Amino acid sequence: MKKTALLLIGLVSFILYSCQTTPEIEQYTIEQFMDNVSISGKSFSIDESKILFASNETGIYNAYELDLETGEKTQLTDREETTYTIGYLDESGRILLLSDNGGDEIYHIYIRNLDGTIEDLIPFEGARVNFSGWSHDRTSFYFQSNKRDARFSDLYEMKVEDLSYEMIYENKEGYDLGFLSIDKKWLTLTKTITTTNNNMFLLNRETGEVKLLSEHEGEITYRPVDFSLDSKFLYYLTNENSEFTYLMKMNLETGEKEKVYETEWDIMYAYHTYDESYRIMGINWDSQTVIKVFDMKSGEEVALPDFEGLNITSVSVSRSENLMAFNASSSRQTSNLYVYSFETGEYKQYTNTLNPEINPDHLVDGKVVRYKSFDGLEIPAVLYMPHTASKKNKVPAMVHVHGGPGGQARIGYRAHIQYLVNHGYAVIDVNNRGSSGYGKTFYSLDDKKHGDHDLKDCIYAKTYLEQTGMVDMEKVGIMGGSYGGYMTAAALTFTPEEFAVGVNIFGVTNWLRTLKSIPSWWESFRNALYNEMGNPFEDSTFLYNKSPLFHADKITKPFMVLQGANDPRVLKVESDEIVEAARKNGVPVEYVLFEDEGHGFRKKENQIEAYEKILMFLDEYLKGTAE
């Protein structure tokens, strides 16, 4: 009887298991993926009845206004250039905007008047103009510009009442400017030494004295983030005696220091709300953003809304400190805007940015994984595996490399990654040595070893893919943008047999030219960049050897390059030259050029074209299924 019962149970289990089917995964077009809406920036109106934000709903970022009572959304601008919002200028409803010209990164501040007209508020021809914060009483705001000296930014103050302005700090020493204390007596300054070492200073605007606050030895970073309401204390982030950054507080009169908050990961930012009722902190928690809000009176952490599967990624608190706008998203859910009430603890969702034609169940979650590199170093990465992948149905894969070189692969919605995964490609987004977020030692491990040790980290990602048992190891490619584009070109030239294809998105291919032609406004960072990458005037042989352009004859695998014509960081000529050189090898080379883009593609129509062409290229040369 026992044997019969067990057989019956086993038979029933088999029948039930056999009847279960994997849900059919719909494949979506790039147009469907890009029909999602991306939102950026958020600020409350003076009376806190509305929120201003930027959205690319029309195909390019423009300004929108949201009525918090009715939920009605109104488009405020219809510009052909990417336009971001700064905030409401005053109670009348005039707003400040930020925009460049075709991706050239020469930003200017614009004002939208009540009649809808838009004008350049500070038309410094050929110079950058960047917003630098509001005065506490909102009677003025600050901006930086390199009009006087193309290398350095000076600080200006503009009055809201009549829009007159004056220079309040002339930056002849090449500092990176921080912010003013509430009483306007103190101005924070920093000076970069290397990418992992800097100094912090304090300017007394009454006496003109500049005081060093960070006397130290070794590689330590300091970043001022806020002053106390009474202007007696400075808050700053540092990694002194630690691998990770933490929050400190300094008494400006006595110099006494106090550690305020420390965790096992980097604190990315910290600030206080208008009347210092709350402290907001963003923590880079293993490729994800974790927001913490503390009640300053009780010292207790505020319990934020708990979203299963979603991360709160940024917050903005109103001047009354009664309302908090925040964004929440995940790998499978685009960022949406919510508003939370500190008084009631309730919140409301105001946007639905995911295209309703897309079922989020058909997308995949990014999973943080780790693997050992060539020297035993543990490398973090984010893995996206197609639903259709299995040990019986092995899929092609792409090793994805972030920008930087000090960038980071992070959990969040990435349209181009989900698009590739939805069409049957596994993607492993690598945080090779030199990436942010894993301690200052890890961050500096790639210094002057680019195209070598960091590239090996990317190559060793293949060992992890192989261990999954779900990847066709004959069909693994590499792709990335900016520094990730360099890594792609480096892989195809320095290790030509490791990857089956490469997709280089505005990547550096000639370090000698790039490092000599960096934008003038990067002057304060120039020596630090040379220290990490190499000095083109002193290390020419070294940089020649790590530049893919001069080794392009080694390219034997299909190669794709995408470039913006207005890119001020990686000049168009870099992509022109490596495409020409690669074509001499007789290998398939595809070149996609956008005349109206810079370092990054921001217009939807261009993003659609770029990602669709990338998939077509991979289908033909990696998957081998293109018609």
Higher-pLDDT residue of 626, 406: 406
What pLDDT, in 10s, does the model give residues 327-354? 999 999 999 999 999 999 999 999 999 9
6 has a pLDDT exceeding 80 = no
Quick one: average pLDDT of 527-544? 91
Can the peptide bond before residue 405 be classed as cis, meaning omega within 30 degrees of 0? yes
In a domain, 24, yes or no: no
> Tell me, what's the pLDDT at 521?
83
Let me know if 327 is exposed, middle or buried by CB neighbors in 10 A (0-12, 13-18, 19+).
buried
Nearest CA among 224, 228, 205, 197 for reference residue 213: 224
Q: Which is it for strands 559-564 and 502-505: parallel, antiparallel or unpaired?
A: parallel
Over residues 350-392, the pLDDT tens digits come to 999 999 999 999 999 999 999 999 999 999 999 999 999 999 9
Question: What's the rounded mean pLDDT across residues 210-217?
Answer: 96
Q: Yes or no: say if 118 and 77 are a contact pair by the CB < 8 Å rule.
A: yes
Q: Which of 623, 503, 499, 618 is nearest to 563 (CA)?
A: 503
Q: How many CA atoms lie within 13 A of 589 on its CB side?
A: 21
pLDDT, tens digit (0-9, with 9 covering 90-100), for 240-267 = 999 999 999 999 999 999 999 999 999 9
Pairwise CA distance, residues 203 & 555, whole Å: 53
What is the per-residue pLDDT for 13? Answer: 39
CA distance linking residue 137 with residue 274, whole number of Å = 10
Six token digits for residue 125: 């021809």
Q: Where are the alpha helices (DSSP H) in 20-86?
A: 30-34
**What is the C-alpha to C-alpha distance for residues 406 and 444, in angstroms, rounded to an integer?**
9
pLDDT at 626: 56
Distance CA 160, CA 163 (A): 5
pLDDT attached to residue 3:
39
Q: Cα(first)–Cα(last) distance of the chain, in Å?
A: 59
Structural domain includes residue 553: yes
Strand order in the sheet with 210-212: 176-180, 186-194, 197-204, 210-212
Residue (of 433, 444, 486) closest to 194 by Cα position:
444
Question: Binning pLDDT at 50, 70 and 90, where does residue 7 land?
Answer: very low
Measured CA to CA in angstroms, residue 314 lies from 50, 173, 218 at distances of 18, 34, 33
Report the relative pairing of strands 471-481 and 395-401 from DSSP bridges. Answer: parallel
Looking at the 3D structure of the chain, how many domains does it have? Answer: 1
CA distance 309 to 331: 9
pLDDT tens, position by position, 21-52: 445 889 999 999 999 999 999 999 999 999 99
Residue of 91, 95, 96, 90 lying closest to 108 (CA atoms): 96
Q: Give the sheet arrangement for strand 73-75, strand by strand.
A: 39-44, 50-55, 62-67, 73-75
Calculate what percentage of the chain has a pLDDT beyond 70. 96
Rounded to whole angstroms, the Cα distance separating 482 from 450 reads 13
Report the pLDDT value the prediction gives residue 518, as an integer from 0 to 100: 85
Please give the structure tokens belonging to residue 235.
Answer: 């808050």
Q: What is the pLDDT of residue 576?
A: 96
Unique residue bearing structure tokens 């300094």: 250
The reply to whether 613 falls in a domain is yes
Q: What is the mean pLDDT of residues 150-156?
A: 96
CATH code at position 436: 3.40.50.1820
For residue 259, give every residue at least 6 positions away whose Cβ sits within 8 Å of its Cβ, in sequence order, or none. 246, 247, 248, 249
- Per-residue confidence at 16, pLDDT binned at 50, 70, 90? very low
Inside any domain, residue 3 = no
Q: Which residue has the tokens 């090898």?
A: 585
Query: Are the CB atoms for 227 and 272 separated by under 8 Å?
Result: no
Give CB contacts under 8 A, 24+ apart, made by 56-60. Answer: 56/602, 56/604, 59/603, 59/604, 59/605, 60/602, 60/603, 60/604
Model pLDDT for residues 278-326, shown as the tens digit of each residue: 999 999 999 999 999 999 999 999 998 888 888 999 999 999 999 999 9
Whether 403 has a pLDDT exceeding 50, the answer reads: yes
- Domain assignment present for 527: yes
What are residue 131's DSSP bridge partners?
143
- 583-588: average pLDDT: 96
What does DSSP say about strands 95-99 and 108-112: parallel, antiparallel, or unpaired?
antiparallel
Residue 423 domain-assigned (yes or no): yes
CA–CA distance, 225 with 324 (Å, rounded to integer): 20
Angle at CA of residue 413, ends 409 and 418, nearest 5°:
95
The pLDDT, as a whole number, for residue 520 is: 87
How far is 272 from 257, CA to CA, in rounded Å? 18
Q: What is the mean pLDDT of residues 556-574?
A: 93
204 assigned to some structural domain: no
| Most distant pair of Cα atoms in the chain: their distance | 97
pLDDT at 263: 97
Average pLDDT over residues 143-164: 97
What tokens appear for 14 in the block?
């088999």
* Residue 600 DSSP symbol: B
Range of the domain at 553: 364-623
Burial class (CB in 10 A: 0-12, 13-18, 19+), 413: buried
pLDDT, the chain, mean = 93
SS3 220: coil
Residue 522 has what pLDDT?
A: 84
Handedness of CA 233, 257, 438, 300 (dihedral sign): negative
pLDDT band at residue 624 using 50, 70 and 90 as cut-offs: confident
Indicate whether 450 pLDDT > 50: yes
Across the range 483-489, mean pLDDT stands at 96
> What would the mean pLDDT of 46-74 be, rounded to a whole number?
96
The mean pLDDT value for 563-582 works out to 93
Looking at the predicted structure, is the pLDDT value of residue 565 above 70?
Answer: yes
Structural domain includes residue 351:
no
